Amino acid sequence: MSFKLLVFDWDGTLMDSEARIVACIQSAFADLGEMPPPREVAREVIGLGLEEAMTMLWPDGSVQQRRELVDRYRFHFLGGNETASSLFPGARELIEDLNQRGLLLAVATGKSRRGLESALASTGLRGQFHATRCADETFSKPHPEMLLQVMEELGADQAETLMIGDTEFDMAMARNAGVAALAVAYGVHDLERLLRHDPIDCVHEFGELRDWLERNLED
């Protein structure tokens, strides 16, 4: 396959951060005196921008209440919560290898810019990506804008771009942008939900992602 631009989602695709995100969501609700959503509910919004996620989790909250919820989430995620999160084993090596092969690499994430920069710094991957887009800089997934912006910045067309992600929001964004998507089923959303959006393939473990890319990318 002749992809020259690989666009990765972050949480659940490169970083195993579900437990930390859920814990921070639950702490944010508790800070405001509200009943925290259970894990199976909180994890469903991973991948969306913060405002969209909190609207989904607290549809009856006022605009001001949801803003406060976002602020409390950021407080916990950027330093107030000690729940561990780390790259999936082999993720750093994969990104470095793809870079050495001369491929264009990008991130399209529901994280804020501050959150992504913190993650890139803590993982040592800053400088490994040619472009990044965050939900607070453009539209949240599944709107295609962040993907289209990355493609324009790096000079890649639809046929040359592959979106890699673990949620149906990633798959829908790719479809809306007219690009191929590779689903990873080791993250947040299950295989059935991912397949609704017609990815070109699906892998079930991170090691399979590396194998798939090695088999299917042309040098």
Residues assigned a catalytic role:
9, 11
Whether the link from the prior residue into 142 is cis, omega within 30° of 0, is yes
Tokens of 39: 């894990």
**75, containing H or E segment:** helix 63-75
In angstroms, the first-to-last Cα distance of the chain is: 10
Beta partners for 131?
106
* Burial call 193-208: b when 16+ CB within 10 Å, e when fewer: ebeebebeebbeebee
Nearest to 134 by CA among 117, 122, 152, 121: 117
Tokens of 155: 């000079």
Query: DSSP characters for 30-51?
Result: HHTT-PPPPHHHHGGGBTB-HH
What is the rounded distance in angstroms from the CA atom of residue 151 to the CA atom of residue 147? 6
The residue behind tokens 């590779």 is: 182
